[in-house]
Structure 1
Amino acid sequence: MSSAQQEEEVLGKAYDGRLMGRLLAYVRPYRWQVVVATLAAGLHSVTQVVGPYLNKVIIDRYLFPTHAPGSHSLIGNYLPADPWRGIASVALLYITMLVIGFALDFLQTWSMQWVGQHSMYDLRRDLFHHLQRLQISFFDRNPVGRMVTRVTNDVEMINDMISSALVAFFDDSFVLLLIIVVMFRFNWKLSLITLAVLPFMILATRAFRRAVRDSYRRIRVAVARINVFLQEHVTGMSVVQAFNREQRAYDEFDQINRVHLRAWTDAVFAYALYYPAIEFLSTLAIALILWFGGLRVLNHT
């Protein structure tokens, strides 16, 4: 196996601070856009948490009025006593939160996509400039298809991480933090019951990360080999046909393509296990809340 292929198949650390620092150097010129996206993510998470809280206000104040501790809302003093006017006011506030949330979500997504595209533009430019300064011997040792994969597919995967994965990470992190704060604000005992499934979610996520990371590494290697094979055989098709090697070339390509298929199948299998497992644990947490919360209601505690 060539050194190029061995380099591709090396599975590095899950997190490499040195490489992350080099990557962030391309994001640094657009740090203010990142700040805007982060602030928008934090404010958007507030609008997502406000919705369920407004539902609680309508139920506790107008549909099933109660004077139990914790039933008085933070905005109760600013709402009319008449149920019809009160529900209309809360509904209007709910719609306002939806509109604000939409605007913040748009601002966050657009900002991070803008940062991702401009960062990858700079990275591709530097990669091509670097290729132009390499010695001829480098191009003799490395297939053209492999270098094309580096400049196109691999850069696009980095772009997905910056523009999509980071957006989801910040958004979900802010929402989760706010939800936990609100939950403990209302009832810390039920909150602890809800978080009882969290260790199992962490274990499932760690196993999923290992499986998917290995699968995507094999996918990346397979894509590079497919590009190398196509580049060599398409440019040399006259030689292949002259020596009647079409069937052998077809068999070799079929083998490489099957490796790519198996890698994708393993990745899809990991997704098919992980998301139902998380859904099951989430449903289990809801069932625990209904069970223990229902018992406390029946016991008037």
Structure 2
Amino acid sequence: MTRINMENLKDRYRDWVLFKRVLTYLKPYGQWVALAILLLLGVSLLNLVGPYFTKIVIDDHIKSSDLEGLDVIAGLYLAALTTSFLFQFLQNYLMQYIGQKVMFDLRSKVFAHLHKMSFSYFDKNPIGKMITRVVNDVEVLNEMLTSGLILVFSDLFTLTGIFAVMLYLDWRLTLVVCIVFPILAWVTRIYRLKARDALRKNRAHVTELNSYLEENLSGMDTVQCFNQEKNNLDKFTQINQDRLNEDLRTVTYNAVYMPSIDLFNSLAVGMVIWYGGGRFVQDEIQLGILVAFIQYLQKFFEPVRDLAEKFNIIQTAMASSERIFELLDTPEQLPDSVPNSDDFKIRGAIEFKNVWFAYSDENYVLEDINFSLSEGESLAIVGATGSGKSTLVNALCRFYDIQKGD
């Protein structure tokens, strides 16, 4: 057994093409997806009311000792929290339901496609690789659908809503904090490119690890017969080390980027306190607006952090979907079959004329084979090990297609 080659990591499929194909599997459940998106938008809107209620309480009710007004705001806030909880429950249930249905459909399609591939396909592709496609890669797609793709729209909507409210509260404070946004966007772009490469390579190493493990376990008798335990352990250790290195790369990028978001958040809050505090001292801004603005600013960076985490989920899913669609795009190679019937009987003569066959393009196993059998006639196929007896039978059954001859 030899170590399998690393899979091609080039972008044969652009991310937007992959997104488009993944979304086609959501079409049968389009009405449920639309409802889930509406619920998400409702949750995002309800999450924006808290800081604004704080502004109203400080500026309108605490100053005037209006306890009745405080009771009203508290009741409204409790109602908003309760409604948000119900919306989140329904949205989570819907997306989990949709994700499970899509997984069922996709696994069935991949499994059915594998049944239409010839023996030669499985000779060239390890079984562990196929198992990874049907089980692991489809599961990664489910994670994207349930906790990645749809929630990205919620985070983007939340960011837009918070920015709009901050502009409404005080456009001068908003312009001050906008200073950090270009730097944050630049850092985010660098992180996205680095993390994408690491995550793609990580998925390839997962496939390689599964394939090599399956090869060794299924061929353990051969491994032990030829005393290859140490050699195979060394190869497995190298594959495992390669995956560890990519995991550590991803961990390093996250360890740098996540604190960077907190740093930009702290810088933005500090700038608001410095500039807004000066304006408050000069009676140019109300205290409630300043407090609410800081709360909105802190909320603004929460979706930014969430988007970074969801980016990892989406990029991992894109790598998995690329491998799934690569398999589904492989042309079917199953030979034409006879109709399925309980009364079917083999009749007629068999004849090989100048038949040549090779598992690869160069090394022929069968060379210029000629024989004919009449109906009812028998033929014994004998020969040394490796002479092509099994290959001849496989060609006769059309498990493989010959290169030359009739």
Query: Normalising by structure 2, what TM-score?
Result: 0.67
Q: Is 1:134 the equivalent of 2:133? A: no
Higher helix share: 1
Q: Is 1:64 the equivalent of 2:63? A: yes
Match of 1:262 in 2: 245
Counterpart of 1:33, as a letter, is W
Q: Is 1:206 the equivalent of 2:186? A: no
2:45 and 2:29 map into 1 onto residues whose CA distance is: 25
1:159 alignment partner, one of 136, 142, 146: 142
1:91 and 1:18 map into 2 onto residues whose CA distance is: 48
Match of 1:101 in 2: 84
Give the 3 Å change call, closer, same or farther, for CA 100–13 of structure 1 in structure 2.
farther
C-alpha displacement of 1:15: 4.1
- Measured against aligned partners, the alpha-carbon deviations of 1:72-110 in whole angstroms (never above 9, x if no partner) come to xxxxxxxxxx72222122111111110001111112222
Match of 2:42 in 1: 43
1:14 and 1:205 map into 2 onto residues whose CA distance is: 23
C-alpha displacement of 1:14: 8.4
Q: Is 1:118 the equivalent of 2:117? A: no
Q: Is 1:194 the equivalent of 2:194? A: no
1:254 and 1:21 map into 2 onto residues whose CA distance is: 38
C-alpha displacement of 1:63: 1.5
Match of 1:9 in 2: 8
- Measured against aligned partners, the alpha-carbon deviations of 1:227-284 in whole angstroms (never above 9, x if no partner) come to 1111111011111111111111111111111111111111011111111001100111
Match of 1:250 in 2: 233
Give the 3 Å change call, closer, same or farther, for CA 41–283 of structure 1 in structure 2.
same
Query: Normalising by structure 1, what TM-score?
Result: 0.89
2:211 alignment partner, one of 200, 203, 228: 228
2:14 and 2:123 map into 1 onto residues whose CA distance is: 32
1:279 alignment partner, one of 246, 262, 281: 262
Match of 2:279 in 1: 296
Structure label with greater radius of gyration:
2
1:136 and 1:15 map into 2 onto residues whose CA distance is: 30
2:23 and 2:129 map into 1 onto residues whose CA distance is: 24
2:222 and 2:244 map into 1 onto residues whose CA distance is: 28
2:225 and 2:172 map into 1 onto residues whose CA distance is: 78
Q: Is 1:52 the equivalent of 2:35? A: no
Match of 2:20 in 1: 21
Structure 2 SS opposite 1:120: helix
Give the 3 Å change call, closer, same or farther, for CA 13–280 of structure 1 in structure 2.
farther
1:194 and 1:223 map into 2 onto residues whose CA distance is: 42
C-alpha displacement of 1:11: 3.0
**Which 10-residue stretch deviates more, 258-267 or 151-160?**
151-160
C-alpha displacement of 1:173: 1.4
Counterpart of 1:39, as a letter, is L
Higher strand share: 2
**Which 10-residue stretch deviates more, 212-221 or 275-284?**
212-221
Match of 2:313 in 1: none
How well do the aligned residues superpose, as a CA RMSD in angstroms?
1.7
1:217 and 1:51 map into 2 onto residues whose CA distance is: 40
1:193 and 1:213 map into 2 onto residues whose CA distance is: 32
1:149 and 1:160 map into 2 onto residues whose CA distance is: 15
Give the 3 Å change call, closer, same or farther, for CA 14–177 of structure 1 in structure 2.
farther
Q: Is 1:216 the equivalent of 2:215? A: no
C-alpha displacement of 1:299: 2.7
Mark the runs of 5 or more structure 2 residues left unpaired by the alignment: 285-406
Q: Is 1:182 the equivalent of 2:181? A: no
Counterpart of 1:138, as a letter, is Y
Counterpart of 2:51, as a letter, is P
Structure 2 SS opposite 1:117: helix
Mark the runs of 5 or more structure 1 residues left unpaired by the alignment: 66-81
Report the count of equivalent residues: 282
Structure 2 SS opposite 1:282: helix
C-alpha displacement of 1:37: 0.9
Counterpart of 2:35, as a letter, is V
- Measured against aligned partners, the alpha-carbon deviations of 1:97-126 in whole angstroms (never above 9, x if no partner) come to 100011111122222222222112111110
C-alpha displacement of 1:213: 1.0
Q: Is the 8 A contact 1:201 1:281 kept in 2?
A: yes
2:13 and 2:244 map into 1 onto residues whose CA distance is: 24
Q: Is the 8 A contact 1:11 1:217 kept in 2?
A: no
Give the 3 Å change call, closer, same or farther, for CA 161–15 of structure 1 in structure 2.
farther
C-alpha displacement of 1:5: 3.6
